[in-house]
C-alpha cells in the first residue's frame, strides 16, 4: 500500500506540473493560528483553509467530509450520516483536537466528541485548521491542533437558497442571507438535512436515518468606535443507529453556541475585545434514560498592541465554568468545573526573520495547573523560500467522565505533549507552491482504563501510557485558470511507547489529490483519498482494517447569473471499506442540488473588492475568534 501511495503522489505531481499556471492569495488573513489576523503566508504553523468556493464545489453533506481530503486529518465514523465521527490530526488522539464554532469551544465536558458531523456545510463560510499544539493560546485539548468553523455572513454575501436530493433518500435544503442598514448588519441562515441512511453495522440490514435542523443568526453593529457582535448557532435532530446487540435505537441531539463580543480601539496601536459565550451540548437516548449534557459559560478578554512595525503583542484571559452530567447504564455522573486560562504572545518580523513566542497558564479546578508555550522561527530567502522551525507544548485536562464516570478517578493528571517540527516552503511564482516538513510529538500521561481484577469491567482510569508520533508531510498547490490542483501526502508513525503498538484508527500513509477544471460556466472536480491500513479495536486483540481509495467526482454548472446546478458522485469506485471495525460506509451514490442566489455574480464582484478577513465580517478579530 505504501508503494501505491507514493506512485499515486508521483503521478499526480507529474500531471499537475504539465498544466500552465496562482495559489491561494498569500495575503489572505487567518486568525486561528495566532489569535491575530495574519496573512497566511506569514503564519509559521501549518494551516489549512477551506473557503466557500471549495465548500460549494464539494457538495458535501457535513463538515467532516470537507476535512477528510487533507493529509494528516484521519477520519473515523461509526456508520452513516449523523453518526459519531472522530478527527485525528497528525496521529494525535481524537480528543486532542480543539473545535471552535465562530471561536466558541464546542468540545463537550463528557466523553463525547465535538459534534462536527452536525454542522451543515451550507452554513459555513470557511474552515481554518491549525496543525500542532496551541494550548498556549487556547488552553486544554489543543494538543494535535485546532479546527475553527466560521459561519456565513449573509448581510454581505446576499441571499441564497439551495435544495438537493441524493442516494439513501437524502434531502437537503438551506436558506441564508441578511440585511444591512447603516452601521447595523443582520445575518440569518437555516439548513435542513434528512436521510434514510443505511445499516450502521456490517452485520445488520436495518437502515438507520438522520435528520438535522440547523439555524444561525448574527447581529453586528458599530456603536461609536466599538464593534458589537451577537451570534447564535444551533443544530438539533435525531440520529438512528444499531447498538452492540443490533437493536435499532435512536437519540436526540442538540448543539448550540451563543456569544456576545465588544471590541474597541485604545489609541492608534491597541485593540481590546471582551466577550461572553455559552455552549450547550445534549444527547438524549430515546429507548433508555441515558444522556450526556454539557453547559459551559465563558468570559474572556484580549488586548492586542502593535508596538512597532516589528512587534505585535497580545495578552488575554479566559474564565469558564462547565456543568457536565451524564447517565449510562444507570451510572450517573455530575460535575461543575471552573478553569482559568491566561496567555501572552509576541510576534516579531524584521527583514527575512520571523518569529513567534507564546506562553500560556491554565488553572484547572481538579487537575491542577499547566504551563504551555510555543516558540517559532522562520527565515525567508529571496522572498520565495521559507525555512522554519517550531516547538511547543500542549495539554488536555481530564474531562468530567474521566474523573467521575465509568472508571472515574478524580486524581488524574492532565495529558501533556511536547512537539517539534522543521520544514521548508517554496513559492515558485504566483501559480506554484510546495512545502515539506518533518514533525515529532511526544505525549505522556495518556489516560487509559486499567482493569483491577479478572472482570474486564472492574477498573480505574489512570495516567499510564506514552505515545510518540513521528512523520513527514509534503504538499503541492497549483492555481491558474482553468486549473486548480492540490496534492498532499503524509507518512507518520503514531506509536504507543508502552506497548510498541501503532495507535488505533490512524493510517500511517495517506495521499490526497484534488483537481478542478473549468469549462466556461461548468467546473468539474475530482477528489481522491488513498489511505493505508489501520489498526482498530477487536476482540481478543486489535484487528487490521484494509487500506482504501476513495474518489468523489463533482460538477457545478452556472446555468445563469442566479441559478447553479451541482452534482456529486460519492465513492466513484464503489470502494468497500471501513473507517471503524464492523461499521459500514456509503456505497457509490449520486447527489444533485440546485441553488438560487438573486445577487448572482454581482455579489461575487463586490466581495472580491473587500479586504480578505477570516469570516467576511467587518472586524477580522470578531469574525473568527470569540475570546
Burial of 341 (0-12, 13-18, 19+ CB in 10 A): buried
Look at residue 535 in the predicted model and tell me its pLDDT: 94
Average pLDDT estimate for 411-433: 94
| Close Cβ partners of 21 (under 8 Å, ≥ 6 residues apart) | 429, 430, 431, 432, 478, 479, 480
For residue 29, the model assigns a pLDDT of 86
Give the pLDDT score at 59: 86
pLDDT at 538: 87
Report the number of distinct structural domains present in the chain: 1
Q: What is the per-residue pLDDT for 329?
A: 82
Burial of residue 437 (CB within 10 Å: 0-12, 13-18, 19+) is: buried
With contact defined as beta carbons under 8 Å apart, do 126 and 98 qualify? no
What is the tens place of the pLDDT at every residue in 557-579? 999 999 999 999 999 999 999 99
Q: What is the pLDDT of residue 396?
A: 96
pLDDT at 109 over 70: yes
| 529: containing domain | 2-624
| Region 485-513 average pLDDT | 95
Give which of 71, 117, 62 is closest to 527, Cα–Cα: 71
**What separation in angstroms does the CA of 349 have from each of 64, 71, 312?**
35, 29, 9
- Give the number of other Cβ atoms within 10 Å of residue 382's Cβ: 6
Q: Residue 605 pLDDT more than 70? A: no
Average pLDDT, integer, range 449-463:
81
pLDDT digits (tens, 9 = 90+) for 352-374: 999 999 999 999 998 899 999 99
Look at the block and give the residue holding cell 507529474.
14
Q: What SS3 class is residue 419?
A: strand
pLDDT band of residue 297 (cuts 50, 70, 90) is: very high
Predicted confidence at residue 321, as pLDDT, reads 97
Q: What own/partner pairs with CB < 8 Å and gap ≥ 24 does 519-526 have?
A: 519/482, 521/557, 521/558, 521/559, 522/555, 522/556, 522/557, 522/558, 523/57, 523/555, 523/556, 524/553, 524/554, 524/555, 525/57, 525/58, 525/553, 525/554, 525/555, 525/556, 526/551, 526/552, 526/553, 526/554
Q: Which residues of 549-562 are buried (b: 16+ CB within 10 A; e: fewer)?
A: bbbbbbbbbbeeee
Interior angle at CA 574, CA 583 and CA 85, nearest 5: 35
H/E stretch holding 54 reads: helix 52-58
Q: In this predicted model, which residue has the larger pLDDT, 595 or 623?
A: 595
- The mean per-residue pLDDT over the stretch 467-487 comes to 95
Confidence grade of residue 337 (pLDDT, cut at 50, 70, 90): very high
By DSSP bridging, strand 483-496 and strand 509-519 are antiparallel
Q: Is the pLDDT of residue 160 over 90?
A: yes
- The mean pLDDT of 482-497, rounded to a whole number, is 95
For the segment 301-334, what is each residue's pLDDT rounded down to a tens digit?
999 999 888 899 999 999 999 999 999 887 899 9
Mean pLDDT within 454-472? 88
Q: With cut-offs at 50, 70 and 90, classify the pLDDT of residue 457.
A: confident
All cell numbers assigned to 104: 466558541
The answer, yes or no, to whether residue 604 has pLDDT greater than 70, is no
Non-local (6+) Cβ contacts of 520 within 8 A are none
pLDDT at 323: 97
Q: For the purposes of burial, counting CB atoms within 10 Å of the CB of 244, is it exposed (0-12), middle (13-18) or buried (19 or more)?
A: exposed
| Residue 18 confidence (pLDDT) above 50 | no
Cell 501511495 belongs to 5
Distance CA 129, CA 150 (A): 11
CATH number of the domain where residue 256 is located? 2.40.170.20
**Pairing label, strands 311-328, 47-50:** unpaired
Cis ω on the peptide bond leading into residue 482 (within 30° of 0)? Answer: yes
Instruction: Say what the pLDDT of residue 610 is.
Output: 35
Assess whether pLDDT exceeds 90 at residue 453: no
- The least confident of 96-105, 153-162, 415-424, 468-477 is 153-162
Is residue 397 pLDDT above 50, yes or no? yes
What whole-number distance in Å separates Cα of residue 134 and Cα of residue 41?
Answer: 19
Higher pLDDT, 27 or 506: 506
The predicted model gives 247-276 an average pLDDT of 96
**Whole-number mean pLDDT of the chain?**
89
pLDDT of 289: 94
Predicted confidence (pLDDT) per residue in 226-246, tens digit: 999 999 999 999 999 999 889
pLDDT-based confidence at 157, cuts 50/70/90? confident
28-32, 159-163, 253-257, 313-317: least confidently modelled range: 28-32
Q: Would the pLDDT of 476 be above 50?
A: yes
Mean pLDDT, residues 53-77 taken together: 91
Predicted pLDDT of residue 27: 53
* Residue 618 pLDDT: 28
Q: Is the dihedral of CA 164, 169, 170, 173 positive or negative?
A: positive
pLDDT at 609: 32
Q: What is the DSSP letter of 60?
A: -
C-alpha cell at 617: 465580517
What pLDDT is stored for residue 25 in this prediction? 53
What is the number of other CB atoms lying within 10 angstroms of the CB of residue 443? 28
Query: Is residue 13 over pLDDT 50?
Result: no
Contact status, residue 148 vs residue 168, Cβ threshold 8 Å? no
pTM: 0.91
Residue-level pLDDT at 26? 52
Residue 612 has pLDDT above 80, yes or no: no
- 68, three cell numbers: 477528510
pLDDT tens digits for 186-196?
999 999 999 99
> Whole-angstrom Cα distance, residue 305 to residue 301?
14
Going by DSSP bridges, is the β-strand pair 415-427/543-545 parallel, antiparallel, or unpaired? unpaired
Q: Residue 435 above 50 pLDDT?
A: yes
Question: pLDDT-derived band of residue 534, with 50, 70 and 90 as boundaries?
Answer: very high
Amino acid at each position: 500500500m505504501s508503494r501505491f501511495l507514493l506512485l499515486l503522489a508521483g503521478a499526480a505531481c507529474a500531471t499537475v506540473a504539465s498544466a500552465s499556471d496562482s495559489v491561494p492569495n498569500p495575503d489572505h488573513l487567518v486568525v486561528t493560528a495566532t489569535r491575530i489576523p495574519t496573512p497566511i503566508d506569514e503564519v509559521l504553523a501549518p494551516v489549512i483553509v477551506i473557503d466557500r468556493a471549495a465548500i460549494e464545489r464539494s457538495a458535501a453533506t457535513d463538515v467532516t467530509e470537507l476535512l477528510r481530503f487533507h493529509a494528516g486529518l484521519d477520519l473515523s465514523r461509526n456508520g452513516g450520516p449523523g453518526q459519531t465521527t472522530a478527527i485525528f490530526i497528525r496521529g494525535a488522539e481524537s480528543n486532542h483536537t480543539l473545535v471552535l464554532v465562530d471561536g466558541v469551544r464546542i468540545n463537550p465536558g463528557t466523553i463525547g466528541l465535538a459534534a462536527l458531523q452536525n454542522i451543515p456545510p451550507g452554513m459555513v463560510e470557511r474552515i481554518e485548521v491549525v496543525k500542532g499544539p496551541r494550548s498556549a493560546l487556547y488552553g486544554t485539548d489543543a494538543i494535535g491542533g485546532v479546527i475553527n468553523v466560521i459561519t456565513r455572513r449573509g448581510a454581505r454575501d446576499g441571499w441564497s437558497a439551495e435544495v438537493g436530493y441524493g442516494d439513501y433518500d437524502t434531502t437537503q435544503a438551506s436558506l441564508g442571507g441578511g440585511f444591512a442598514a447603516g452601521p447595523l448588519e443582520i445575518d440569518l441562515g437555516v439548513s435542513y438535512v434528512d436521510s434514510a441512511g443505511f445499516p450502521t453495522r456490517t452485520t445488520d440490514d436495518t437502515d438507520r436515518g438522520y435528520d438535522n435542523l440547523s439555524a444561525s443568526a448574527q447581529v453586528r453593529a458599530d456603536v461609536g468606535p466599538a464593534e458589537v457582535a451577537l451570534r447564535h448557532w444551533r443544530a438539533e435532530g435525531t440520529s438512528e443507529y444499531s447498538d452492540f446487540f443490533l437493536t435499532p435505537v435512536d437519540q436526540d441531539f442538540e448543539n448550540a453556541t451563543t456569544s456576545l463580543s465588544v471590541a474597541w480601539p485604545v489609541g492608534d496601536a491597541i485593540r481590546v475585545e471582551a466577550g461572553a459565550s455559552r455552549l450547550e451540548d445534549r444527547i438524549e437516548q430515546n429507548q433508555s434514560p441515558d444522556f450526556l449534557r454539557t453547559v459551559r459559560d465563558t468570559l474572556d478578554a484580549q488586548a492586542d498592541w502593535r508596538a512597532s512595525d516589528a512587534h505585535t503583542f497580545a495578552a488575554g484571559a479566559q474564565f469558564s465554568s462547565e456543568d457536565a452530567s451524564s447517565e449510562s447504564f444507570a451510572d450517573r455522573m455530575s460535575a461543575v468545573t471552573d478553569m482559568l486560562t491566561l496567555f501572552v504572545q509576541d510576534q516579531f518580523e524584521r527583514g527575512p526573520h520571523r518569529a513567534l513566542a507564546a506562553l500560556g497558564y491554565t488553572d484547572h479546578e481538579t487537575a491542577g495547573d499547566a504551563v504551555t508555550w510555543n516558540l517559532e522561527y522562520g527565515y525567508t530567502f529571496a522572498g520565495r523560500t521559507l525555512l522554519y522551525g517550531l516547538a511547543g507544548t500542549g495539554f488536555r485536562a481530564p474531562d468530567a467522565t474521566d474523573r467521575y464516570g465509568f472508571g472515574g478517578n478524580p486524581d488524574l493528571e492532565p495529558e501533556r505533549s511536547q512537539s517539534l517540527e522543521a520544514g521548508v516552503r517554496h513559492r515558485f511564482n504566483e501559480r506554484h507552491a510546495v512545502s515539506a516538513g518533518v514533525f515529532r510529538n511526544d505525549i505522556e500521561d495518556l489516560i487509559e482504563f486499567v482493569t483491577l481484577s479478572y472482570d474486564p469491567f472492574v477498573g480505574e482510569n489512570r495516567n499510564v501510557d506514552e505515545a510518540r508520533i513521528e512523520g513527514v508531510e509534503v504538499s503541492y498547490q497549483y492555481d491558474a485558470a482553468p486549473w486548480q490542483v492540490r496534492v498532499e501526502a503524509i507518512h507518520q508513525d503514531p506509536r504507543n511507547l508502552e506497548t510498541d503498538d501503532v495507535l488505533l484508527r490512524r493510517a500511517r500513509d495517506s495521499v490526497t489529490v484534488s483537481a478542478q477544471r473549468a469549462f466556461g460556466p461548468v467546473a468539474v472536480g475530482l477528489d481522491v483519498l488513498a489511505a493505508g491500513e489501520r489498526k482498530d479495536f477487536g476482540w481478543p486483540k486489535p484487528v487490521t482494517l484494509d487500506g482504501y481509495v476513495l474518489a468523489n467526482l463533482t460538477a457545478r454548472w452556472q446555468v445563469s447569473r442566479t441559478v447553479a446546478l451541482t452534482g456529486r458522485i460519492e465513492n466513484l469506485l464503489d470502494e468497500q471499506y471501513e473507517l471503524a471495525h464492523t461499521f459500514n460506509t456509503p456505497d457509490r451514490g449520486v447527489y444533485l442540488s440546485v441553488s438560487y442566489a438573486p445577487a448572482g455574480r454581482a455579489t461575487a464582484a463586490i466581495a472580491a473588492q473587500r479586504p480578505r478577513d477570516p469570516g467576511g465580517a467587518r472586524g477580522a478579530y470578531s469574525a473568527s475568534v470569540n475570546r
